[in-house]
Structure 1
Amino acid sequence: MESITTLQQALRQAQLAQYGRLRGGFPVLLGGAVYWAAVGGMFWAVRSGLMEEGWAYFLTLFGTGAIFPMALGFAKISGINFMKDRSPVGSVLFPAFVAMLLFWPMLLGAIHTGANSMVLLILAIGLSLHFPVIGWSYGRSLLFCAYAVIRAICVYLAWYLWPEQQQLYVPAIVCASYLIMALIVFVDSGRVRSASPH
Structure 2
Amino acid sequence: MNFTELLDRERRHVFISSNGGIALPAAGAIYWLALGVAGFYLRPGLWMLVAFSASGLIFPLGLWLQKPLRANLMLKSPLAGLVGPALLSMMLSWPVTIAASGVHSSLAPLALAIGMSLHWPAIGWLFNCRVCHAHALVRVLVVTAIWYGFPAERFTAVPLAVALVYVLTVWGLIRSVTHIRQQHAPTILESTE
* TM-score when normalising by structure 2: 0.91
C-alpha distance in 1 between matches for 2:23 and 2:120:
14
Q: Secondary structure at the match of 1:77?
A: coil
Name 2:111's counterpart in structure 1.
122
- Is the aligned partner of 1:45 residue 2:79? no
**Is the contact between residue 17 and residue 193 of structure 1 (CA under 8 Å) also seen in structure 2?**
no
Q: Which of 154, 161, 165 matches 1:173?
A: 161
How many corresponding residue pairs? 186
Please tell me the root mean square deviation across aligned C-alpha atoms, in Å. Answer: 1.4
- Is the aligned partner of 1:190 residue 2:178? yes
**Is the contact between residue 27 and residue 75 of structure 1 (CA under 8 Å) also seen in structure 2?**
yes
Which 5+ residue runs of structure 1 have no aligned equivalent?
47-51
Deviation at 1:10, TM superposition (A): 0.6
Name 2:127's counterpart in structure 1.
138
Deviation at 1:147, TM superposition (A): 1.7
Deviation at 1:81, TM superposition (A): 2.6
Q: Secondary structure at the match of 1:96?
A: helix
In structure 2, the CA distance between the partners of 1:79 and 1:143, relative to structure 1 (3 Å rule), is closer
Q: Secondary structure at the match of 2:90?
A: helix
**Is the contact between residue 21 and residue 193 of structure 1 (CA under 8 Å) also seen in structure 2?**
no
Q: Which of 89, 93, 99 matches 2:89?
A: 99
Which 5+ residue runs of structure 2 have no aligned equivalent?
none
**Is the contact between residue 45 and residue 105 of structure 2 (CA under 8 Å) also seen in structure 1?**
no
Name 1:80's counterpart in structure 2.
71
Deviation at 1:24, TM superposition (A): 0.9
Q: Which of 21, 24, 36 matches 1:25?
A: 21
Deviation at 1:112, TM superposition (A): 2.9
Deviation at 1:94, TM superposition (A): 1.0
Q: Aligned ranges for residues 1-12 of structure 1 at < 5 Å?
A: 6-12=2-8
Q: Secondary structure at the match of 1:116?
A: coil
C-alpha distance in 2 between matches for 1:23 and 1:53:
36
**Is the contact between residue 19 and residue 72 of structure 2 (CA under 8 Å) also seen in structure 1?**
no
Name 1:49's counterpart in structure 2.
none
Deviation at 1:111, TM superposition (A): 2.9
